[in-house]
Amino acid sequence: MPELSTRGQRLVDAPPMPGYISEHFTRLNAGASGYVGLCIAENKLQSAALNEQLAGYAVPASALGYDAMTGNAVFRERLARYMGRTFLGRDFLTEQIVLLAGAGSVLEMLFYVLCDSGDGVLVPTPSYAGFWPDLETRDELNIVPVHCASATDFRLTPELLDHALEHAAYPVTAMLFTTPNNPLGRVYSRAEILEVAEWAARRDIHLVVDEIYALSVFGSREFVSVASVLPELGDKVHVVWGFSKDFGASGLRAGVMVSENRHVLDAAGALAYWAACSGHTQHLLSSLITDDAAVDAHIDATRRGLAQAYGRVTEVLDAFGIPYIAAEAAFFLICDLRRWLQAPTFAAEQALWRRMLDEANVNLTPGEACRISEPGFFRLCYAGEDTGLVTDAIKRLGMALARA
Ligand SMILES: Cc1ncc(COP(=O)(O)O)c(C=O)c1O
Tens digit of each residue's pLDDT (9 = 90 or more) over 208-241:
999 999 999 999 999 999 999 999 999 999 999 9
Q: Which residues have C-beta atoms less than 6 Å from ligand 1?
A: 41, 102-104, 128, 130, 178, 182, 210, 212, 242, 244, 250, 255
Mean pLDDT of the region 77-90: 97
Residue 32's pLDDT band (cuts 50, 70, 90)? confident
Say how many Å lie between the CA of residue 306 and the centre of ligand 1: 18
pLDDT at 33: 86
Distance CA 198, CA 203 (A): 9
pLDDT at 185: 98
pLDDT at 1: 57
Smallest CA separation from ligand 1 atom 14, residue: 41
Average pLDDT, whole number, for the chain?
Answer: 96
pLDDT at 88: 98
Q: Ligand 1, from 213, 245, 371: best to mutate by most atoms within 8 Å of Cβ?
A: 245
At 243, the amino acid letter reads F
Q: State yes or no: pLDDT of 404 exceeds 90.
A: no
Residue 15's pLDDT band (cuts 50, 70, 90)? confident
Please, are residues 358 and 383 in contact by the beta-carbon 8 Å criterion?
A: no
Mean pLDDT of the region 163-168: 98
Q: Ligand 1, from 40, 99, 212: best to mutate by most atoms within 8 Å of Cβ?
A: 212
Kindly give the interhelix angle for 73-83 and 279-290, rounded to the nearest 10 degrees: 40
pLDDT at 30: 87
pLDDT at 31: 83
Helix (H, G, I), strand (E, B) or coil at 256: strand
CA angle (295 as vertex; 290, 296 as ends), nearest 5: 120
List, in order of start, the domains of the chain with CATH numbers.
Answer: 6-48+295-402 (3.90.1150.10), 60-291 (3.40.640.10)
Q: State yes or no: pLDDT of 16 exceeds 90.
A: no
Say how many Å lie between the CA of residue 240 and the centre of ligand 1: 10
At 304, the amino acid letter reads R
> Using CA of residue 186, residue 190, residue 191, residue 197, what is the dihedral sign?
positive
Please, are residues 309 and 390 in contact by the beta-carbon 8 Å criterion?
A: yes
Mean pLDDT of the region 11-24: 88
Strands (DSSP E) along 51-133, which ranges? Answer: 97-100, 120-125
Distance CA 258, CA 334 (A): 30
Residue 345 CB contacts under 8 Å (≥ 6 apart), including other chains: 375
Helix (H, G, I), strand (E, B) or coil at 146: strand
Say how many Å lie between the CA of residue 103 and the centre of ligand 1: 6
Nearest ligand 1 atom, CA 255: 10
Say how many Å lie between the CA of residue 342 and the centre of ligand 1: 32
Select from 87, 114, 83, 116 the least CA-distant residue to 97: 83
Q: State yes or no: pLDDT of 304 exceeds 80.
A: yes
Smallest CA separation from ligand 1 atom 7, residue: 103
* DSSP states along 7-62: HHHHHHHS-SS-HHHHHHHHHHHTT-TT-EE--S----TTHHHHHHHHHTSPPPGG
pLDDT at 220: 94
pLDDT tens string 305-361: 999 999 999 999 999 999 999 999 999 999 999 999 999 999 999 999 999 999 999
Backbone angles phi, psi at 259, to 5 degrees: -150, 150
Distance CA 353, CA 342 (A): 12
Q: What percent of the chain has pLDDT over 70?
A: 99
Please, are residues 119 and 172 in contact by the beta-carbon 8 Å criterion?
A: yes
Say how many Å lie between the CA of residue 3 and the centre of ligand 1: 32
Q: State yes or no: pLDDT of 72 exceeds 90.
A: yes
Q: State yes or no: pLDDT of 18 exceeds 90.
A: no
Mean pLDDT of the region 106-123: 98
